[in-house]
Structure 1
Amino acid sequence: MADKPDVGLTLDGGQACSICHGSERRVVSGIGRGFEKLTTVICTGCGLLQSHPMPTAAELERFYAVDYRKKYKSTYEPKPKHVYRYAPGAYQRVAQLAALAGPEQRRFLDIGSGSGEILYMARRMGFDVTGIEPNTGYAQYTRAQLGLPVQNCNYEQADLPKEHFDILNLNHVLEHLPDPLASLRFLNGLLRPGGILCVAVPDIAHTSHAPWTRFHYAHVHNFNHDTLKAMVLKSGFVVLPESTASTTLIARKTGAAFCDMPQRMEENYHRLWCGLTAPTSVAGHVASRRGIGRFLGKLYRYPKEYLLAKAHGSPRAILDHVFRQMETARRA
């Protein structure tokens, strides 16, 4: 990335950063996934990364409704192997949230419900579930194949009563939103007092992905632990100690007024800048320990997922099998 002529270019005079209120950005990359032209900038006051220019709301709505799943998953609806791949993690996520919820906290909202694994596991654990999924194919799939109550729209268009839900799950959603702070504050209003938010995003500081796949059009923002936590705290939540230390955070609604004070994090910016602009060649990454490890892991995992998913048949049968298997292991 360091050999790109525009990397390091400083941009000024743009919209104030929602975390630190600064306006200075530096170009950190000029390419996206598939070596497509994509400019990504980093805020020099805190380290928040975003696409430049930001796509319009109409462009994003069209992209997620029609093109997103086909572009990144090459399918209009989930494949059985994907259901099998995501089911264990979905069970673990819901079990973690269920352990934090009180007996009266049963209303579970999943925004960006995707192929429905989290929503299905939540229903199996006794929650009253609601899903929001903007992609038409995936929303139709979750209604028809899994019998889940999913609205095919974005959260702003959805029929969602205020202060109604007890648990709100955002699994790899926030990075797709053009104004994540405003979105978190809006979603805060959907939770009842003491409601639980679980938000997970990819960690841009993670080193397992090749530099030429790190940025892509679908992710208009990129976070690390510090920037994600700052967003959550400024949106009326307190982060619970049960959260992970990376970019999966569990927080509880405080009821306090939103914090509008700027939060400067120059050290976080410098740390991210140095990591993201360190030169890495294609051959160097492929030959590295992490590159070889990911490649070998896929060679083992993908055929296994395909065969196991095929053996169990329908998506419901796959999810029910994983649920029973993990329930047995948890109670052992």
Structure 2
Amino acid sequence: MKTGQTLEAGGNCAVCDTRERRIVSLVGRGFQKLTTVICTGCGLVHSHPIPSPEELQRFYAEDYRKAYKGTHKPKLKHVYRYAPGAYQRVAELAALVGPERRRFLDIGSGSGEILYMARKAGFEVTGVEPNTGYAEYTREELGLPVQNCTFEEADLPKAHFDILNLSHVLEHLPDPLASLRFLNTLLRPGGILCVAVPDIGHASHAPWTRFHYAHIHNFSHETLKAMVLKAGFEILPQSSGSTTLIARKTGAAFCDMPRPMPENYEMLWQTLTAEHAGVAHVTGKRGIARLIGKLYRYPRDHVMGRLMGSPRRILDKVHARMCETYGTLMTFVLAAV
């Protein structure tokens, strides 16, 4: 096989029903062998072949966090780094539901920052995290109710939750459309879904780290939007980014109508195979700005995390600071409880 070669996939594309794929890369993160293809009918990008559910379950239970974060449990610098975004996400979602809708589910809850902020905002929270070390951490260090399993195995009642957060999870799933449809059934009528994934069309990573084993599917705005719509949701205007969508559960049946987007495929193919992309990533203005930002943020996060000393103290202090900055919004949210 070689880059640019076309092949026929084992099944139809979940977005557009097309079988034809084109090889976009044969190398994954760490220069490991990994074949990644793009659907020529819509631009959905995915690994080829897609790993089996059993293989993925073993990987996420034990190896994923160690391979990508270098640890079995969160580090203080990571808690400090993610806490402000967690506060903002919860405040944004809480503003969309009323005082009688207070059940918050976080699938792939990770190190628990979003669940912790949701609990402080008055929600009844439930988390699901397949990684053993991270699930134990969120239960023991943060006192959060987190089930250590996949969402398919979790004890989750149907039509029960008001908000479902799915942050950087969908790209890890072997059948994202089927997963979204299953998760739809866990929400009450009119429930809110927030789904965030990396944008494969955005030059936020070097070409040599763009594809990796853990990210089975890679989305652009158009392919993510198509899947969310086909899973029985309507996109809300509060969506904050190209691949961060906020949607509301509708009463309509799931839509199986194919959504061909050949222009999206053409655009992504040109982006992903552009010559000199690696040089531009490092030497362009965006690459230089990213490097300068990391040189400032990474030492700051490490020092501040160590000074605060514990995950709960970090989260409480960040929460207090963010409340001072965004007091009007959070006051409104808490008043609704």
- What TM-score does the superposition give when structure 2 sets the normalisation length? 0.96
- Higher mean Cα deviation, 203-212 or 140-149? 203-212
Equivalent in the alignment of 1:151: 147
Say whether the 8 Å CA contact 1:236–1:257 is kept in structure 2: yes
Q: 1:13 to 1:202 in 2, by over 3 A?
A: closer
Equivalent in the alignment of 2:335: none
- Higher mean Cα deviation, 275-284 or 248-257? 275-284
Equivalent in the alignment of 2:20: 24
Match for residue 213 of structure 2 among 205, 213, 217: 217
Match for residue 330 of structure 1 among 326, 329, 337: 326
Match for residue 182 of structure 2 among 181, 186, 189: 186
Q: Give 1:12-161 correspondences, 5 Å limit.
A: 12-161=8-157
Taking the aligned partners of 1:194 and 1:16, their CA distance within structure 2 comes to: 30
How far residue 69 of structure 1 moved from its aligned partner, in angstroms, is 0.2
Q: Give 1:197-236 correspondences, 5 Å limit.
A: 197-236=193-232
Partner SS state of residue 7, structure 1: coil
- What TM-score does the superposition give when structure 1 sets the normalisation length? 0.97
Q: Give 1:229-244 correspondences, 5 Å limit.
A: 229-244=225-240
Partner SS state of residue 131, structure 1: strand
Question: What is the identity percentage for the equivalent residue pairs of Structure 1 and Structure 2?
Answer: 71
Taking the aligned partners of 1:211 and 1:49, their CA distance within structure 2 comes to: 14
Q: Render the CA deviation track for 1:270-299: whole Å, top value 9, x for unaligned.
A: 000000000226444322222222211111
Q: Render the CA deviation track for 1:167-216: whole Å, top value 9, x for unaligned.
A: 00000000000000000000000000110000000000111211011010
Taking the aligned partners of 1:204 and 1:283, their CA distance within structure 2 comes to: 18
Q: 1:312 to 1:245 in 2, by over 3 A?
A: closer
Equivalent in the alignment of 1:306: 302
Given residue 243 of structure 1, which amino acid in structure 2 is its aligned partner? S
- Higher mean Cα deviation, 183-192 or 281-290? 281-290
Match for residue 159 of structure 2 among 160, 163, 174: 163
Match for residue 267 of structure 1 among 239, 245, 263: 263
Partner SS state of residue 125, structure 2: strand
Say whether the 8 Å CA contact 1:83–1:319 is kept in structure 2: yes
Partner SS state of residue 326, structure 2: helix
Taking the aligned partners of 1:68 and 1:80, their CA distance within structure 2 comes to: 19
Structure 1: which 5+ residue stretches go unaligned? none
Partner SS state of residue 133, structure 2: helix
Structure 2: which 5+ residue stretches go unaligned? 329-337
Say whether the 8 Å CA contact 2:203–2:281 is kept in structure 1: no
Partner SS state of residue 300, structure 2: helix
Q: 1:115 to 1:13 in 2, by over 3 A?
A: closer
Partner SS state of residue 146, structure 1: coil
Q: 1:314 to 1:258 in 2, by over 3 A?
A: same
Superposition CA RMSD, Å: 1.1
Taking the aligned partners of 2:150 and 2:9, their CA distance within structure 1 comes to: 31
Partner SS state of residue 100, structure 1: coil
